[in-house]
């Protein structure tokens, strides 16, 4: 998985950075290249998360919900009406 993630990040930066560079050359500006690189990295992160999913929670760590998905009742009187 490591090479796939690295390849996706590098290709995202290269493709969208290249598009930004071409736009900069065509329009004689200087800001499309960094915008393209940032856009490429953010799209690559999105693609990696969609493809491989989010990280699994750490085993033994409490998530704050019951198995049914509802929050458990507070154990103290604080916050109750």
Q: Would you list the DSSP string of 28-44? A: T-SSHHHHHHHHHHHHH
What pLDDT does residue 3 have?
77
Low-confidence ranges of the chain (pLDDT < 70): 1, 54-55, 61-81
Torsion of CA 40, 11, 44, 29, to 10 degrees: 0
Instruction: Using DSSP, state whether 30 is helix, strand or coil.
Output: coil
pTM of the complete model beyond 0.75: no
Strand partners, 56: none
What value does the CA radius of gyration of the chain take, rounded to a whole number of Å? 22
Contacts of 34 (CB under 8 A, 6+ apart): 20
What pLDDT does residue 56 have?
72
């Amino acid at each position: 998985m490591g090479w796939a993630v690295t390849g996706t990040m590098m290709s995202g930066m290269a493709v969208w950075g290249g598009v930004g560079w071409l736009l900069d050359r065509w329009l004689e500006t200087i800001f499309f290249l960094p915008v393209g690189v940032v856009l490429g990295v953010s799209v690559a992160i999105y693609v990696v998360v969609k493809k491989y999913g989010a990280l699994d929670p750490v085993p033994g760590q409490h998530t704050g919900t019951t198995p049914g998905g509802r929050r458990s009742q507070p154990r103290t009187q604080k916050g109750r009406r």
